[in-house]
Structure 1
Amino acid sequence: MQKFKRKVFYLGGFDPRGVRFYHQLYREQAGRYTGLAGQAVTVGGRRAGPDGSLVSVQWDVVNEGAGVAVDYEYLRWEDLIAKVWIRNPLPLAWRAARAYWGHARFMQFGRMRGLRSGPVITILYPPAFAVLIPLLLALVPALALSLVLPWWVGALAGIGISALLSGRLLAKLVVPWLLRFMTYHGALAANGPGAELDARLDQFAARIAAELDGDWDEVQIVTHSAGTILGMTLLRRVLALRGKPLPDHVVMVGLGQVVPVIGLRSDAGWYHADLAALADKAFRYVDISSPPDGAAYYNVNPLRLVAERHAARVDMLSPRFHLFYRPENYHGGWSNKYEAHFDYLRVGDRLSPLDFISLTAGPRTVDDAVAAFRTIP
């Protein structure tokens, strides 16, 4: 039987864990898919991409029962993320304060709130919690102890308790990660990609352009989280290199899209130009973003941020995770916000046409998967 051949390019978010973590995650989720679908999906080992390991890493995926063979290529930028990943809480607090001042000056919060109110809360709660939680954890025990002990003993005890507990509680509420995310993207909006990321995006574009006319039945350009921001810039570069429309079998998929974080900054002229340049280009884009995901912009077409009309064929979908997870496994609530943002890359307790393994290793094309998903009541 002739196999359906698929090429997948994956561009991930602002995460320093990199290719080893994501390869293992894919392997685990392929195992879940195998158990649910009855189709054995095997995931091969990692190998360096054709342009060297700093640019991409590849692995083979075979769904023998469905007759699908996948060449999966992970586009690497975790080394660049590691260079700007602030670990010390004091420099992080200082840099975040400066970044939020920039967001206050340039972010179109009114327009953002009109699009989706959830991400506004997600953006604003980290600095508030970063101040209030350590303060309350110090103040409450200090006041209580000062009733029976000298004030200075209560103050020292409160500071110690706050130092011991606040870091864990803030991490559980995803505050440090969000502060890093907003700090980085504030600089990205104001200053552009910079020399290293700019060169890496050019390398990614060259890799994708080189494969578009290959012997593939489908080519997917999959972006996740902050990768959806860079994905728009990347797609503009691919189209410029190609100099003609994309083949019909090429589709871009955005998972947990966060483009307005840059797209609604009034000082991000370089990014507005990238979005505007895509407005008259014909291509296929499928956006899968969950309304309960406080970091994602459900039903917000990134191309409409700068243009009234566009030539792309766009579908905006919610993955409706609640239909595919048992209640005890569903990532809801404040403490699960970080995990919920990664459910786009997982397989639930019931198969969805839009779960990550079904999309990338299943027998349906993206268009067929979207059509099948729309039939689910």
Structure 2
Amino acid sequence: MTGLGPRETGQVRRRRVFYIPGFDPLQTRRYRQFYRVEGPRQAAISGYALEVGAKPAGMAHGWTVTAQVDGEEVRSEVEVLAWADIIGGSMRRTVAATYGQMLRTAWIYVASGALFRLGRLRKGPTLAALYPVVMLSLQAVFAALAGWGTGRAVAWVLPGWAGIALGAGLGLAMVWAVLRAFQRLDRRFLAYYLMHDYAFSAGLWGAYPAVLEARMAAFGARIRAALEEDWDEVLVVGHSSGAILGVSILADLIRAGLPGRGAALSFLSLGQVVPMVSFLPEARKLRGDLAYLSARDELAWVDVTAPGDGCAFALCDPVAVSGVAGEGKRWPLVMSCAFTQTFSPERWRKMRFRWFRLHFQYMCAFDRPGDYDYFRITAGPLTLRARFAGRAPSRSRIERALSGYRSVA
């Protein structure tokens, strides 16, 4: 074993974790809180020790983790690769602009045929994509009825042309007021939020916006710098649409050539929504990156979803369903964290209809964790490759190529 590094031994004492959030304007606050609360809880359930510390010097958003797992002490540094400012900028739209965005996004998915193909893949995330369209439409109908009722009431009280004119003006004001009220209450409905999410991904028919490409290049530089340092493992975690970013960042990083140091490079994708973009006609770069990354030995890639997560394409191999799986395909290892088995029956009854919360469960504690334990992966003594070596992929995974667009950049 002399001279062998962590790539060969699978042993980790020092780990650098890069977490790429999905489309979430609250990125930097939410994820440290998840880890700070859920990590010790999982440790208590599973019989190991875990302590979350302060942000390391020189890191914009992150925290340290010290863990005692299976008799081994491991220190990890977790950095959130934040793009909340880009998300916040894309969400600052007027009510009228959001409705215009809704019509354009719906047209992109319908005209490209992607919506119908996604529906054949998984009904849950397709219905989630339709939800903001239906909810915003219902809000518009409600606002229109309120405006019409206001106009009719004014015209009844004040007969004649003056009443009609005043009623029309007050009716339009009521429409605007109701729509603005719904926008302010969107933390309850999430219609505007989800509409902005899908519109951002589909805005260029699947191509990456220039501002996001620049941020991804900066993220890649951060990961490369870590690979040049003295870490045993550099682990990239991509959640939801953050998994899409992770695919392209890592593909570009490997194409450019990895540093010669011995750190193991790992990629964990959680609750991925890759087909929402890879099924669009201009997503050629993403499809090319999926094909490239799936055949590389420089990294290990594990994709974790759960059928109980209605916002993710559960157990859908993102490479295969996008139609770009080649003969040399090695990754990802597709597996389920099976909420019905890893939650206690009592907790599952409470959680099963909290769809948005379940989409974030991958970074939280489980009552009865199986092979998947987020905190063992990010703070334990084994690399991702070693932890899942010999593990068979889920038998119920979906690999049928359903994308109508398979050209690559």
TM-score tier after normalising by the smaller chain length: 0.7 to 0.9
Q: Confirm or deny: 8 A CA contact 1:14 1:81 kept in the other structure.
A: yes
Q: 1:69 to 1:285 in 2, by over 3 A?
A: same
Is 1:32 the counterpart of 2:41? The answer is: yes
Aligned equivalents of 1:316, 1:15: Cα separation in 2: 24
Deviations 1:258-294 (A, max 9, x none): 1111100012233333334335433321110111222
Q: Helix, strand or coil for the counterpart of 2:63?
A: strand
CA offset digits 1:333-367 (Å, max 9, x no partner): 2xx22111111111123444423223212344434
Of residues 32, 35, 42 in structure 2, which corresponds to 1:23? Answer: 32
* CA distance, structure 2, for counterparts of residue 276 and residue 372 of structure 1: 23
2:200 match: 184
Q: Quick one: distance in 2 between partners of 1:324 and 1:240?
A: 38
Partner AA of 1:344 in structure 2: Y
Map 1:44-123 to 2 at 5 A.
44-47=53-56, 49=58, 53=60, 57-64=61-68, 66-86=72-92, 88-123=94-129
1:7–1:287 CA distance, 2 compared to 1 (3 A): same
Q: CA deviation at 1:188?
A: 4.8
CA distance, structure 2, for counterparts of residue 251 and residue 172 of structure 1: 37
Deviation at 1:170, TM superposition (A): 6.2
Deviation string for 1:20-55 (max 9, x for gaps)? 3322221111231233234331111124546xx3xx
- TM-score, structure 2 normalization: 0.76
Separation in structure 2 between the aligned mates of residue 193 and residue 139 of structure 1, nearest angstrom: 38
Structure 1 residues 329 and 61, CA gap change in structure 2 (3 angstroms): same
Cα displacement (A) at 1:316: 0.7
**Distance of aligned partners of 1:192 and 1:327 in 2 relative to their CA distance in 1, 3 Å threshold:** same
1:270 aligns with 2:288: no
For the Cα contact (< 8 Å) 2:95–2:179, is it kept in 1?
no
> How do 1:112-191 residues align onto structure 2 when only pairs under 5 Å count?
112-133=118-139, 135=141, 171-191=187-207
Match of 2:304 in 1: 288
Partner Cα separation in structure 1 for residue 264 and residue 33 of structure 2: 28
Which whole-Å CA distance do the structure 1 matches of 2:375 and 2:325 have between them? 34
Q: Secondary structure at the match of 2:314?
A: coil
Among all aligned residue pairs of Structure 1 and Structure 2, give the percentage whose two residues are the same amino acid. Answer: 29
SS of the equivalent of 1:242 reads: coil
- 1:300 alignment counterpart: 316
Matches of 2:101 and 2:179 in 1, distance apart? 20
Pick one of 19, 23, 29 that aligns with 1:10.
Answer: 19
Per-residue Cα deviation, 1:290-323 (whole angstroms, up to 9, x for no partner): 1122221122222221423243342111111222
* Contact 1:106/1:267 (<8 A) preserved: no
Q: 2:377 aligns with which of 325, 349, 359?
A: 359
One-letter identity of the residue aligned with 1:183: A
Q: In the aligned structure 2, how far is the partner of 1:48 from the partner of 1:258?
A: 33
Tell me which moved more, 248-257 or 303-312.
303-312
Task: Give per-residue Cα distances to partners, 1:212-242, cap 9 Å, x unaligned.
Answer: 3643333311100110111111011110222
**Aligned length, in residue pairs:** 363
**Contact 1:226–1:259, Cα closer than 8 Å, also in 2:** yes
Amino acid at match of 1:42: E
**CA distance in structure 2 between the partners assigned to 1:108 and 1:343 by the alignment:** 28
Task: State yes or no: 1:319 paired with 2:334.
Answer: no
Runs (5+) with no aligned partner, structure 2: 1-10, 158-163, 394-409
Partner SS, residue 14 of structure 1: coil
Q: Structure 1 247/217 Cα, relative in aligned 2: closer, same or farther at 3 Å? A: closer
Secondary structure of 1:67's counterpart equals strand
CA contact (8 A) 1:232 1:275 kept: yes
Checking the alignment, whether the CA contact within 8 Å between 2:270 and 2:362 is kept in structure 1 is yes
> How much is the aligned-residue C-alpha RMSD, in angstroms?
3.7
Whether the aligned pair in 2 keeps the contact of 1:285 and 1:315 (CA below 8 Å) is yes
- Identify unmatched segments of 5+ residues in structure 1: none
Q: Which letter does structure 2 place at the counterpart of 1:40?
A: A
Contact 2:206 2:277 in 1 (8 A): no
More relative contact order in 1 or in 2 (CA 8 Å, sep 6+)? 2
SS in 1 for 2:224: helix
- Most deviating of 215-224 and 231-240: 215-224
**Rounded Cα–Cα distance in structure 2 between residues aligned with 1:349 and 1:134:** 42
Q: Give how far 1:3 is off.
A: 7.0
Note if contact 1:46-1:59 (Cα within 8 Å) is conserved in structure 2. Answer: yes
Distance, in Å, in 2 between the alignment partners of 1:173 and 1:107 is: 27
1:231 is aligned to 246
Q: Give the Å deviation of 1:371.
A: 6.6
Q: 1:107 to 1:43 in 2, by over 3 A?
A: farther
CA contact (8 A) 2:17 2:78 kept: yes
CA deviation after TM superposition for structure 1 residue 373, in Å: 8.5
The 1:374/1:68 distance shift into structure 2, 3 A limit, reads farther
Shift in alpha-carbon separation, 1:38–1:292, aligned structure 2, 3 A = closer
Stretch deviating more after TM superposition (362-371 or 28-37): 362-371
TM-score, normalisation: structure 1: 0.81
Residue 51 of structure 2 aligns with which residue?
42
